[in-house]
Structures are given as C-alpha cells and as structure tokens.
Chains A and B, each alone.
Chain A
Amino acid sequence: MNTITVSAKDNPAGHPLPQLRGGQLSWQGRFEAMASPCEILLDGVNRRDAEQALAFAARETWRLERTFSRYVSGNPVDRINRGKGEPVTVDDEMALMLDYAAQCHDLSDGRFDITSGVLRRAWRFDGSSHLPEQEETDALLDLVGWDKLSWQRPQLILPEGMEIDFGGIGKEYAVDRVLLDLKQSLPEGSSVLVNFGGDLACSGPRTSGKAWIVGVEDHQKLSGRSGTLSLYCGALATSGDSRRYLLKNGVRYSHILDPRTGWPVPDAPHSVTVAAPTCTLAGMLATFAMLEGAEAEHFLEQQDVQFWVQR
C-alpha cells in the first residue's frame, strides 16, 4: 500500500492523502470526500498509471467538492448565497449545473428544487417525534422556489435570504465527471470503477470480462443478496437513507421534503436505488421516484431501468 502525494493547494480541506493498494494490473485507490469514503478501482493499468489516476481523481473530486459545497467560504455557491440579490456571474461549469437544475425543476413539476435547502432550518430528522409548526414552514416557504430567482446564463440573481444547494446532484455528478476523465486518459483496454459512498459508475466490465463485485451497505438489502452486487457497466445511485425520518402518532415522515408545501412527501419509500447509464441520471431518477411518494415504483417501471425500492 502506498500513499499518493497531493499538494496542499489541491487539498485545502486537509483530507487524508489517498491510499493505493493492489499489484500486477489491478488496483484499488481510496480517499475521502463529500463526507463519504471514495474508491477508484482500476483494471489493466500499471502502477505508474494507477498512481497518476488516483492522484487525479482525488484532486478533481476535492475541486468539485470545493466548487459545489455550501460550506466553503468564497466558492461560487457561497458567493451566490451571499449575493444579497445582486447579479452573480458564474463560469461555464456552474452554468451547466444551473441549467440542469432548471430542467430538473421543470421536469419534476417543481418538486426538485435546489432552493429548498433552507427548509432544513425547520426540520431535524433525528428519529424523534418533534414536528415543526405550520407557521415555521410557511415562513420558510417564502424563501423557497426556483421561480423566485433569475437565471440567465451567465448571470444568476438570487433574492436575499434564499440559498442554493447542490447536495442532490453534486456527488453523482462527481462520480461521472471523474469516470469520464479517467476513461479518456487511461490506455485502451483498461477499465475503471468509481464509487463514492455507494453512488458508483464503471466504464465497462473488468479486463477479464467479468463483472465488478461491489460491496453494498447492509441496511439496503438489495434483491435478496446480502452485501454484494455485480456490475457489468453503467452506474448505480441511491436516494434516501432509512435512518433519517421522524415518527409521530404512528406516521412516518421521510426526510424528502416537497418544496411546494414545505412538508415531507407523503408515502415516500425508505430508499430507492436505480441502475442507469450514468450516475447523475441514476441519482436523479432515484430522487424523482422518491418525490413521487406512493407512485415511486410506477414511475420507475416506465423508465426501462433496473431499480430497487425499499419501504
């Protein structure tokens, strides 16, 4: 096992340095980002390429984390959230992300909304029975709504008090971005799998032709098999976390909030896992399914994808 050097400039958050394990032509690289364990599996590459690939993956993931995180002061998201209603000019990468958020908002009939993050001030999903007051959530609704901001490439005008939050897209997007970049720079005949805390994508089967075996968190209990999943190509993403909910008078309130009401989507599943060609798409389909509440399975049945819904 060896540690990969990444300069402090590329790692201002001070994450532990990435570790590389393996031998011959099979490698496993690990690092931390976006509050998740991140893993890069490489097949058919030599040590030098594996080291460079892992270093690149860590740098790029940390860069995306810095760019799209709500918590990094001075980054594009922070500048937008502190904009106080003044126009903020964004670069192409942020512009593409905002265009995507706009489209997801349209396609979900307003249920997917990156301005809905402020609702977390009223909701604490700690398994208790503490529900907020209607007045609290109504007051916050004034600060929620994609239609309230103005997005015209390359300028975004966010009214004071509102916030944008890419939590629902950021991790899956990072998986796809890192995978696409590695696919382009690694030699022909190699294959890569990128796994950020259960949201993962691969470029194709292993060089032997066999599938990747992926370890999955226990509580998800996918398709009866405990603990592992076989992936030939494409991506997998999960929405939901069965530990975050509120329970009062026998009614379970999931942590998926409907930004139009400020309250949880009724009858939302505990978790939804979707397999799709890209991680971003898999993640967004899973999110859309959760937002459909009782209709989650029905929505996913229409999509020609494999999915697992846990209620």
Chain B
Amino acid sequence: MQLIDHSNNSKSKTVGRALAAATCALLGVHATGSLAKGQPGEWDVETALLVYSETDDRVQAAEPVISATRNFDGERKLNLKLVADTLTGASPSGATPSALPQTYTSPSGNGSYEIAPGEAPLDDTFKDTRVAVSANWEAPINRDYAYSVGAYGSKEYDYLSTAVNASLSRYLNNKNTTLTGGLSLGVDLVDPVGGAPVGLSRMPLNNNKSQADFDQEFAATRDSDDTKTMVDALFGVTQVINRQTLMQFNYGISYSSGYLTDPYKILSVIDDASGSNYGGNLVGGDGNPVYLYEQRPDTRLKHSLYWQTKYMLGNGDVMDGSYRFMIDDWGITSHTLDLKYRWQLGKSYLEPHFRYYLQSEADFYKRYLTASEYNSGAPVMTDASADYRLGEMTGLTFGAKWGYRFDDDRELAIRAEYLIQTNDGDQGFGSLASQDLYPDTNAMWLQLSYSF
C-alpha cells in the first residue's frame, strides 16, 4: 500500500475521512452513537496496578495508579493523578561484603542487623508507603500559543516532595512545528529516621561499649532534617516530518541544591596497612569495624538532550525510538536508548520493548575508602558515596505489552518488563578482592491496566 501518494486518489480519501471526523466533532457524537474518548464533558480514566520485584530478597513493591482526564470545550483539559506505592525489602547499603560476619546499626539507632560472611550487605530495616498526587491543566491562549500548569506532592514517612511547573508552547508552520519552554520548581523536605547523619562521620556500633556511650556517640553523629530545592528548565521542539513521522528534540537543564545525600547509605573503610588485615575492614579504637555515612556535594547541575521519533508503517504498526544523553557536574554521563514496536493485530496489539542504559561513575563514587583516605577520622575527601546507583552501570531492559481495545474508550493491557543491571568499578585489594563487590541487580515488573 502506497502511503506517500500524491495522486488525487489518496488525497480525496483522506479529505473524506477528515471531514467525517470533523462532522462527528460538530455533532458531538461518534458514529456508534456514544461519546468518543476526548469529547468534552467526559472523564477519561486510566487505572493500573504495578507489581515490582527484585531478585535475592531485595525490593518488592506494589503500586496502584489512577489517572483521570477531563476535556473541556476549546481544547482545554485537566488531569488528576493519584499513585500509591508500598515498598518492602532490602537495598544495598554501600558497605562491602567481607570474609567475616558484619553488624550494622539500623538508621533509627535503636537496633542493628547482621550480615553473614560473603553476603552482600543489604539494609532492610524499613518498609515504606508513599502517596503522590498531581494535577495538570492545559489550555490554548490563542491560535498560536498554549500553556500548561501543574502541581505535584508526595509523602512518605521520611520524605515530603512538592513541585510546581508551567510551560508555554508556540505553534509554527501550520502547527507542524511546536516550540515549548517550561520551568519547574520543587522543594523536598528530608526527615530521615534517626535524623540525618553527619556526612563521613563514623557509624556508631553498640558492640564493646555501654548503652550510654553508644547513645552519646549516636547523638553526636546526627544533623537536623534538611531540605532540597530543584529548578528545572526544558526547551523542546516537536516537528512533524511527514505524514507518518513525528519527532521531538528536548534540551533540559536541572539544578538541585540542599541535602542531596542519601541518609541511609554508608561506605566501608578497608585496611590498607600491610599485614594480616590487608583488604579487610579497618578496625577502630572500640574494636569494631569502621563504616562511614556517605556524603554527596550540596549542589548538582545536569544537562540532558533527548530525541524521540515515532514512525507509522503502511500496515498501521508504529515504531518508537528515543535517545537521551545526560551529563552533570558530578562527573556522570549517561546514554539511554529506548525502542518499541507496536504490532497491530486487529482489536489488540503487541508491543515489544528494549532499553539500553549506560552510565559512568560519579567523581566522588568510591566503592570503599582505604584507611589512608579515612586518615583516622579526618578523611582526605569532602564527598564520597558507595551507592551503586552512582557507579559505572549498564542496564538492559526487555519487555512487552499486550493490549486489547474493546472500543474507542476502553482498553485492557498487560505489560511485563525484565531489567538486568550490571555494575563495575574498582575491584579492591587483598582479601577484599576475593569478594563480589558488584552483584547484578535483576528486577521484574508486571503491570495490569484498564482505561475507560
């Protein structure tokens, strides 16, 4: 079937189809007699449930979502969204595994947890529930301009996040080109369990000392709760290339400042003095291993470039590809490639999905600190973090979505994705080198959605 057919045949056909659609809009009815999706006066609702699970007893989450859009006359629309997620399970604390059993103090200071020899240190002392709401309003200003405004808020027991955003769009070339500029301002309040620890201070351990001494040590490592502010700006061009192709190019810049550290992550200090403990945990004055709370810089500036293309084939199948490049002043650069192919099968569709992610490590990323760097409590660096999410990483995601469309309004879909994340970096020395410092992270998620 020829698509790029400039003969009068296909033009007449498309004129007729467009006219039929315009007439339906005028009469406010779809050919079947029911109000079609997107008609003023109706709520279009999308509901979904996501179930997420990582291998090796790590994070498990369940996340219900409901998103409702109401269209008003004149291309104005309002969207309201509610998301809840319940999180259980453990995540890596940043410490390194050891040939000996390890004990860590839990974030509240009221308990501790043990990790067996050779096991990856995971902190699972908390379960969490988060609720997020957002609202967004879009409307045209006149023939050439449109705007949107939105607000967001989320709360979990140790974190409050709020943000507002606004954007302006300008249409050019008969609406074939759209220029968009947007700004977002956010403020987060961090109130960690046990209080935010002082960065690069030593994690107090209650072994070998009285409870009173431990409590005093714990109190000395605490800071007050803190805030984080974020300013994001986005500039984008959406361009219709031809009848089957649409592209978008975005440049984004994001600046955050305030408390950017993860209050629950730590670093192990490894003994680099020659002797029997070479490569093992450094033992401190109280006979316990030395672990430090991490510390990240208090500002971060990110730049991103994003390019997306959508292409419809002759048979109605749609290809969707995007590439994102990110670079920031923490020394991280990343590349993200995302490909989808929607295969139309009559009333249903099947959409396989592939994503490739590559990230370089942050400047202050250290899998562990050496005793020399620790310098008996006066570390030589100002920032250090062993959070694997700031390290060298490759992520491969394979997934597929199957959807069934009952009619123009109602669709049922099921989506499954599988992520394989591998990390790399400094392999350690001495007895540390025989530990697995970079275990893979494998996660799977399944989503069931229904829209009406």
Contacts and interface: CB of A to CB of B under 8 A. Distances in A.
A281 interface: yes
A280 interface: yes
Nearest to A280: B23
Contacts of A154: 74
Contacts of A153: 73-74, 140
Contacts of A104: 19, 22
Interface string A39-53: 000000000000000
B380 interface: no
A152 B26 contact: no
A150 B142 CA distance: 10
Interface in B49-82: 73-74
Contact of A277 (B8, B12, B26, B31): B31
B19 A284 contact: yes
A298 B12 contact: yes
B77 to A, nearest CB: 14
B1 interface: no
Is chain A's binding surface mostly helix, strand, loop or mixed? helix
Contacts of A304: 16
Contact of A281 (B12, B20, B33, B74): B20
A108 B19 CA distance: 9
B23 A278 contact: yes
A152 B142 contact: yes
Interface string A191-202: 000000000000
Contacts of A295: 8
Interface stretch (A74-82, A92-100, A219-227, A252-260): A92-100
Contact of B18 (A107, A177, A280, A302): A107
Contact of B23 (A92, A95, A183, A281): A281
Contacts of A176: 27
B212 interface: no
B19 A285 contact: yes
Contacts of B219: none
Contacts of B74: 95, 153-154
Contact of A103 (B22, B28, B73): B22
B16 A100 contact: no
B209 interface: no
Given A99-B25, A173-B26, A152 B143 contact: yes
Contact of A92 (B15, B31, B73): B73
Contacts of B8: 295, 298
A185 interface: no
Which interface class (under 10, 10 to 19, 20 to 34, 35 or more) fits A?
A: 20 to 34
Contacts, number: 70
A302 B13 contact: yes
Interface in A154-206: 154, 173, 176-177, 180, 183
Nearest to A292: B12
A303 interface: yes
A96 B26 contact: yes
A176 B36 CA distance: 17
A96 B140 CA distance: 16
Contacts of B12: 298-299, 302-303
A263 interface: no
Interface string B63-106: 00000000001100000000000000000000000000000000
Contacts of B28: 96
B9 interface: yes
A221 B93 CA distance: 87
Contacts of B15: 107-108, 288, 299
Contacts of A302: 9, 12-13, 16
A232 B356 CA distance: 57
A303 B13 contact: yes
Interface string A259-276: 000000000000000001
A95 B26 CA distance: 10
B31 to A, nearest CB: 6
A224 to B, nearest CB: 26
Contacts of B29: 180
B72 to A, nearest CB: 10
Q: Which 7 A-B pairs have the closest CB atoms?
A: A302-B12, A303-B16, A103-B22, A281-B23, A100-B26, A153-B74, A152-B142
Interface of B: 8-9, 12-13, 15-16, 18-20, 22-29, 31, 33, 73-74, 140, 142-143
22 contacts: A95-B74, A103-B19, A103-B22, A107-B15, A107-B22, A108-B15, A152-B142, A153-B73, A176-B27, A183-B33, A277-B31, A278-B24, A280-B23, A280-B27, A281-B19, A281-B23, A284-B19, A285-B16, A288-B15, A298-B12, A299-B12, A303-B13
Interface of A: 92, 95-97, 99-100, 103-104, 107-108, 150-154, 173, 176-177, 180, 183, 276-278, 280-281, 284-285, 288, 295, 298-299, 302-304
